[in-house]
Amino acid sequence: MKNSRKQWKASNRKVFGIAAGIAVFILISISGYFYYRNWQEEQLALERREEIEGLVDEYLDAKASTRFKEYVDTLSEGLVSAEGYTRQELAERYETVFQAIGVDTLDITDREILYDEEADTYAFRYTTLMTTVLGETEMMAYQAEISETEEAKAVQWDHSLFLPNMEEGDTVSLSYTEPMRGSIYDRDGNMLAGEGKAYDAGLYPAVLGEGDQREERLAEISETFDVSVPTLERLLSQNWVTEESLVPFKVVDVGETPEVPGVLYQQTTDRLYPLGEAAAHLTGYVGDVSAEDIENDPKLQSGQVIGKGGLEYRFDQELRGDMGGQIALVDSEGEVKEVIVEREKQDGESLTLTISSAVQSELFAAFDSEPGSASLMDPESGELLALVSSPSYDPQLFARGISLEEFNAYNQDEDQPFLNRFTARYAPGSTFKILSSLVLLESGTTTPDKVNTIEGLSWSPETAAFGDREITRVNDSVTEVDLKDALVYSDNIFFAMEAFEMGTEDFVEGLSQFPFGESFELPLTMNPAQLANNDRIDEITLLADTAYGQGEILMNTIHQQVFYSPILNEGTLVYPKLLKEAEGDSAEGIVSAENAELVRELLLEAVTDPNGTSHALDQLDYAVGAKTGTAEIGGEEENETNGFLYVFDEEKMSYSFVGSLEGQKSGDVIDRFVPFFSSVPGLLE
């Protein structure tokens, strides 16, 4: 009996053990199942989150860089369609608006992914800062929902993702407030370029008549205003034109409003250039912004006026000022819902030059369209009083829109009216002997008493290196030649002899004290003065040519003013200035006061000496010093010449002058400008 009980208990224990094992196994299996399922769900959730993160990154990256064709690919196509767009149309709208307001990139910050656990949906939010043509916007907050289907995940687009608070039917408007362009004034406050009164000449169809009468009147208008009949017909054929319309065809100046049947006038404002051709190369002109201008500067807008040449171009940003305006969200009724960014206009700054309008006009008139250039400078302050290039062009034509026929007439003119000659460089000829004299005196090679014996009109050094070349002079009446004679009679041979004696290295070293290769602080586009092509004089023939102003020297009239200024300032070189507010600059001790004074006195004698090359200037009723120069130019068939003249007012030291005439000699320059020199003192008072 006892054994049976023991067997039963053992059997029960065995069954219980098996059951317990099975239970443990089942429990472990169930736990494993739930653990695996949770792990799988977590992996799926993680993958889902990563897909959402990738979608949001793609969306924001495309928007930040304004790649809108990629941007719309992240959007739910169904919702885009529901808002009335295809993806392509939506991308084009984004591009149109953002380009119009000048947004290239967006600064996107505060990106955050949002998960709604209860709804099991994702969204995201971010803030954007845009830099537009009118400046920065305030931070704008966006939020978007994510749509998820078995096929794809996408951003749910609506109009508020274009701009916050935007709704269907809303548009983005951009309006500008044009600033007043600054003016350019001369030293006395006279306008050289600025806003002034003008008239729009317009066709009045009601008075033109019909048939033969209309043809006759259009022909008369064409002849009177120099506008072709086809151009007038094209203007009249515009869709908006009615019998009572005023159809503008030309802007004309005050006083140029003749009574012509079929033409009416309406007062307007225009950019005026009172000196016209006389200052065209200085002032330049303005014109409408072109497609090329906008490509170079995307901040420019169609319809704007910008500087196209001269100081109008050089100081365009200062003169133009800053455009004002407003970018706004506008509803379907045309009402402003929200101002996105707004900026007040900033009128342009005005410039005051050192130029004298009276002198500028008188000097330009003296050229009478002959090719050449001239500058007038206050030798003590460096203020440029006049800068003239002849022939010239009418800046008003360009500002108002020059016709192709008018442009071609200028462009095909063999005298090149578009060439700015007062910044162009030429060989200075014998006026350069002023500089050579200073260098030779400073070295001690030349002294006031030193005499060279020179016979005849030509001479050649006894050296094989010079070959069979000869140096010539224009006057052989003096055989015992000193520095005074050399300057008064402009003796090439004397200066060549002295340069040979001084030696190439020392002569070049002496000239290097002057600002060759140096750019002046002027708002003009011009190359520095050049001594030689490679900044070296390594041939004896080039040394000779350089000594009397030929060779490879290149200077404009402004350079010459500066280089010769020490003789009028006790050895101090004075740099030029064109802006009245600019600080003057100078370099003291370029040469000694004694040598500067000596050369100055010798140039006075070049005028008073009856045989001097500048004696024709002795007829003036005030004392002047001068140096002439005739520079040879290698032509295709024969040598041609440019005539140069340097003059300074000895009595009041009110001006120094450097002028040139192309294809002429120095005597021609004196003859042309004597009347001008007679008037200068009065003009400067």
Q: What is the pLDDT of residues 44-58, one digit of tens each?
A: 778 888 989 999 999
Q: Does domain 359-408+424-684 have CATH number 3.40.50.2300?
A: no
Rounded to 5°, angle at Cα 374 from 609 and 491 = 35
pLDDT of residue 513: 96
Contacts 24+ apart (CB under 8 A), 256-261: 256/199, 257/199, 257/201, 258/224, 260/217, 260/220, 260/221, 260/224, 261/207, 261/208, 261/217, 261/220
Q: Which residues pair with 197 in a beta bridge?
A: 269
pLDDT above 60 (res 635): no
pLDDT above 60 (res 578): yes
pLDDT of residue 12: 61
Strand, coil or helix: 205: helix
pLDDT above 70 (res 10): no
Q: Taking residues 644-654, report their average pLDDT.
A: 96
Backbone Cα Rg of the chain: 42
DSSP string, 601-623: HHHHHHHHSTTSTTGGGGGSSS-
pLDDT of residue 82: 83
**Integer Cα distance of 1 and 452 in angstroms:** 163
* Token code pair at residue 287: 């014109």
Q: How many CB atoms lie within 10 A of CB 211?
A: 7
**Integer Cα distance of 41 and 44 in angstroms:** 5
Q: Taking residues 246-264, report their average pLDDT.
A: 92
**Integer Cα distance of 510 and 608 in angstroms:** 30
Residue 637: band (very low, low, confident or very high) from pLDDT cuts 50, 70, 90:
very low
**Integer Cα distance of 441 and 433 in angstroms:** 12
Q: What is the mean pLDDT of the chain?
A: 91
Residue 32: band (very low, low, confident or very high) from pLDDT cuts 50, 70, 90:
low
pLDDT above 80 (res 37): no
**Integer Cα distance of 452 and 45 in angstroms:** 105
Residues spanned by CATH 3.40.710.10 within the chain? 359-408+424-684
Q: Which residues pair with 287 in a beta bridge?
A: 306
Q: Which residues pair with 199 in a beta bridge?
A: 252, 267
**Integer Cα distance of 311 and 651 in angstroms:** 33
- Per DSSP bridges, beta strands 624-633 and 586-587 are unpaired
pLDDT of residue 35: 62
| Residue matched to tokens 């034509």 | 397
pLDDT above 80 (res 14): no
The matching CATH number, chosen from 3.60.20.10, 3.40.190.10, 3.50.50.60, 3.10.450.100, for 18-164 is 3.10.450.100
CA atoms within 13 A on the CB side of 357: 16
For 98-133, write each residue's pLDDT tens digit. 988 889 889 999 999 999 989 999 999 999 999 998
**Contact criterion met (CB below 8 Å) for 366 and 390:** no
**Integer Cα distance of 572 and 595 in angstroms:** 11
Lowest mean pLDDT among 85-99, 594-608, 635-649: 635-649
Residue 5: band (very low, low, confident or very high) from pLDDT cuts 50, 70, 90:
low
| Residue matched to tokens 């609506």 | 158
Q: Which residues pair with 125 in a beta bridge?
A: 112, 143
- Per DSSP bridges, beta strands 480-481 and 452-453 are antiparallel
Q: How far is CA 464 from CA 460, 467, 551, in A?
A: 10, 5, 19
Q: How far is CA 150 from CA 37, 59, 129, 154, 157, in A?
A: 21, 20, 35, 11, 19
For 457-486, write each residue's pLDDT tens digit. 999 998 888 888 899 999 999 999 999 999
Residue 240: band (very low, low, confident or very high) from pLDDT cuts 50, 70, 90:
very high
Which amino acid is present at 559?
H
| Residue matched to tokens 């006031």 | 448
pLDDT above 70 (res 2): no
DSSP string, 132-170: ETTEEPPPEEEEEEEEE-SS-EEE---GGGTSTT--TT-
Residues spanned by CATH 3.30.1390.30 within the chain? 198-270
Q: How many CB atoms lie within 10 A of CB 468?
A: 5
Lowest mean pLDDT among 179-188, 280-289, 433-442, 625-634: 625-634
**Integer Cα distance of 572 and 585 in angstroms:** 10
Residue 150: band (very low, low, confident or very high) from pLDDT cuts 50, 70, 90:
confident
For 491-534, write each residue's pLDDT tens digit. 999 999 999 999 999 999 999 999 999 999 999 999 999 999 98
With 0-12 CB in 10 A as exposed, 13-18 as middle and 19+ as buried, what is 674?
middle
Check residue 663 and give left, alpha or beta (phi > 0: left; psi -120 to 50: alpha): left
Q: What are the counts of helices (DSSP H) followed by strands (DSSP E) for the chain?
A: 22, 26
With 0-12 CB in 10 A as exposed, 13-18 as middle and 19+ as buried, what is 668?
middle
pLDDT of residue 295: 86
pLDDT of residue 639: 45
Strand, coil or helix: 657: strand
What's the start-to-end Cα distance of the chain, in Å?
153
Name every residue whose Cβ is closer than 8 Å to that of residue 110 and which is 6 or more positions away in sequence.
Answer: 125, 126, 127
Closest by CA to 558, choosing from 421, 460, 453, is 421
**Integer Cα distance of 382 and 656 in angstroms:** 10
pLDDT of residue 636: 36
**Contact criterion met (CB below 8 Å) for 146 and 309:** no
Evaluated on CA atoms 541, 546, 550, 554, the torsion sign reads positive
Q: Taking residues 335-358, report their average pLDDT.
A: 96
**Integer Cα distance of 464 and 363 in angstroms:** 48
Residues spanned by CATH 3.10.450.100 within the chain? 18-164
Q: Taking residues 179-195, report their average pLDDT.
A: 97
**Integer Cα distance of 656 and 649 in angstroms:** 6
Strand, coil or helix: 267: strand
* Token code pair at residue 180: 């007043």
**Contact criterion met (CB below 8 Å) for 394 and 226:** no
Q: Taking residues 447-456, report their average pLDDT.
A: 96
Q: How many CB atoms lie within 10 A of CB 477?
A: 7
pLDDT above 80 (res 638): no
Name every residue whose Cβ is closer than 8 Å to that of residue 454 and which is 6 or more positions away in sequence.
Answer: 473, 476, 478, 479, 481, 491, 493, 494, 497
pLDDT of residue 321: 93
Closest by CA to 162, choosing from 90, 69, 102, 58, is 90
Residue 16: band (very low, low, confident or very high) from pLDDT cuts 50, 70, 90:
low
pLDDT of residue 610: 94
Per the document, the length of the chain is 685
Question: Which class in CATH covers the domain with range 198-270?
Answer: alpha beta
